[in-house]
Structure 1
């Protein structure tokens, strides 16, 4: 009989650390990857109508709230870094959309945050208005957090609001597809990567015993991802029938 092979404890520990590092890297940057094909699609078509910029709104609010939730309840640093990367990604998407929309705009009328017109909320022509809105939201959250940091109820509410908004990530896209009766201009790769990422991170949350808000959020996102993919099938079939 062959002698039993004994794996050195140091080697096992190193392998585990490498896997842990890789998983953390995927968590930090993986959430932003779905927006690469959508970014490319908008650049290619020179059109933003298929992508709902309210996806950016939902994610910006969710990740700003998550950062303040971390201040009150310090969970994994990985999730904090993920929020920072996601905020940068959303600003990149908004910057591209503003440039495309301003290039294609026929009317000379500008819609700005300073107009305080609710009808044009999050439809501003100037990119600067979006970071300005987020800065104002961050200041408000900072003041509330300073005053109520010792309140466990407030901290948990921050976490619940953060995951609620994140769970609604795909809802604006779902509604825009329904309104357009089409998924044209929306990157299907983006939704498939949403699905893969949501499955991965929900599993990650469960394995790492993250706050329950996180895995509940991931589960809701998976349901919305499936609904959007069903829209792709349904509207694609409807289009083929019209062409036929």
Structure 2
């Protein structure tokens, strides 16, 4: 009798732990962007944050949703994608608002201009929404045509995680271009790293498709590279001041 009760308690505790881990997976990805959001609000400056991070995550999570349609894996990861898409749209909305308030009589650029030089550098938040809508419709159409193809579904998953693995690259490149990490929230990158370590472990433990933990490992490496930039450019700035 005691053994049965003990097993029930262990099972209940494990279920609670699993539920908690799922909640962290769904909403934990939002946390890194809170300090960056606050930093942009505080300084009214978006120069230190690469909005292409938003592009990468939007593409990755839209693709992941269609991957889920073709191959139903954990519902947690589907919900995570929905939450992340909403978060990236919120970040873009803030960036557009700040940039428009700081703009002084310069020509505005819109997606309808069809000018690749200003791709993802549009003036209106509506332009980003239109792009996301068009990309989603294109993915829906192609997925509808090839949903029965296992190769296509796996390729969709690989594309999703490939984009997600590139998450930190726009920020890494922008830091390199600026030769500075000023304006970028270090807390955001530290939370990226913590989140990527957690989710990669989650993927391995839950035996998620291999694409996910490969993506997580790549993201960890990029996070570390950005933190090294923080150290390097910080040292360089101190040397110049000295």
Same fold (TM > 0.5): yes
Alignment correspondent of 1:202: 200
Alignment correspondent of 1:31: 29
Where does structure 1 lack aligned partners over 5 or more consecutive residues? Answer: none
1:57 equivalenced with 2:55 (yes/no):
yes
Alignment correspondent of 1:107: 105
Shift of 1:9: 2.2
Deviation beyond 6 Å, 4+ runs, structure 1: none
Shift of 1:13: 1.4
| 1:93-151 CA distance string (max 9 Å, x none) | 00000000001112331100000000000000100111110100000000001110000
| 1:14-48 CA distance string (max 9 Å, x none) | 11111000000000000111000000000111100
Correspondent of 1:125 among 123, 126, 130 = 123
1:68 and 1:160 mapped to 2: Cα distance? 12
Correspondent of 1:40 among 34, 38, 41 = 38
Alignment correspondent of 1:83: 81
TM-score, normalised to structure 1's length? 0.97
SS of equivalent to 1:185: coil
2:90 and 2:151 mapped to 1: Cα distance? 34
Alignment correspondent of 1:238: 236
Where does structure 2 lack aligned partners over 5 or more consecutive residues? Answer: none
TM-score, normalised to structure 2's length? 0.98
The number of residue pairs the alignment matches comes to 241
Shift of 1:6: 8.0
1:109 and 1:54 mapped to 2: Cα distance? 21
SS of equivalent to 1:186: coil
SS of equivalent to 2:120: coil
1:213 equivalenced with 2:211 (yes/no):
yes
1:143 and 1:210 mapped to 2: Cα distance? 26
CA RMSD of aligned residues (A): 1.1
Alignment correspondent of 1:116: 114
